[in-house]
Amino acid sequence: MFYLLLKHVFLGPLLRLLFRPRIEGLEYVPDEGAAIVAGNHLSFSDHFLMPAVLRRRITFLAKAEYFTGPGLKGRLTAFFFRSAGQIPVDRSGKEAGRAALREGLEVLSRGELLGIYPEGTRSHDGRLYKGKVGVAAMALGAGVPVVPCAMVGTFEVQPPGRKIPRIRRVTIRFGRPLDFSRYAGMEGERAVLRAVTDEIMYAILELSGQEYVDRYAAEVKAEAEEARKTARRRTR
C-alpha cells in the first residue's frame, strides 16, 4: 500500500513534474511475469526515478547501509526503503553474495520485476564499470529475461556528495529483453556467468553512451579515495 501511495499519489507525480523524464522503450518491460531490469547507477535519484515511470512494481536489492543508518535520518531512511518493499543486501564477502542471490531468486519466483545495478555501486565519475556476475546467476537460475536500462542525465542531477538534486530533465531508456535460455543449467559455470554479464553491460552501454571501464567500480573508488588521502597528507 505504501509503495502504491508513493508511486501514484506522493512521490511519483512530483518526480514526473520536476524532472519531466523522457521515457524510451517502456514497451520492452513485460507487463506480467518475472524479469530482471538491469541498469547503470549514476545517482541516488535512480532509486526513485525508474520505479516512477514503470507500469509495474519493481523490487530492488538495496545496500544494507540504507537500513542501518544512525539517528532519526537513518530510521526514516530505513522505514522508507522497507515500506517500499526494497530488500537490504550486505555487500561484503561471499556469503553476502549468496544471500543476495537467494533474495533475488525469491522475488523472481513470485513472478515479479527485480531491479539490479550490476556495477554493485554508484559510479563516482559518470562512467560505466564492469558488472558483477550476480545478475547473470539470477537470470540463469530463474530462467528469466533481462531488460537493460540506461539512466541518462541523473549524474548531473545528483552527483556523489550532492544532497539536494538539481532540477533538470532526464532520460530513462529501456532496451530489448535479453534472452539467455541458451545457457540453461549452466549457472554454475564461471565463464558463462562472465559472458552473460558482459553482454548485459554492453547492452546498457549502447543505451547510455557512457565511457566504459573494464574494472570494478568499488576498486577504482577505493584507489581514488586513497589518492585523495595521500594528497591531503602531503599538503599538511
- Rounded Cα distance between 231 and 236, Å, is 9
* pLDDT tens, the chain, 236 aa long: 666 777 777 778 888 888 999 999 999 999 999 999 999 999 988 988 998 899 999 998 877 777 777 887 777 777 777 766 678 776 666 666 788 888 899 999 999 999 999 998 899 999 999 999 999 999 999 999 999 999 999 999 998 888 889 999 999 999 999 999 999 999 999 999 999 999 999 999 999 999 999 999 999 999 988 888 888 887 77
- Which cell numbers in the block locate residue 52? 516512477
Contact 45, 158 (CB under 8 A): yes
What is the reported pLDDT for 110?
Answer: 96
Residue with cell 554508484: 122
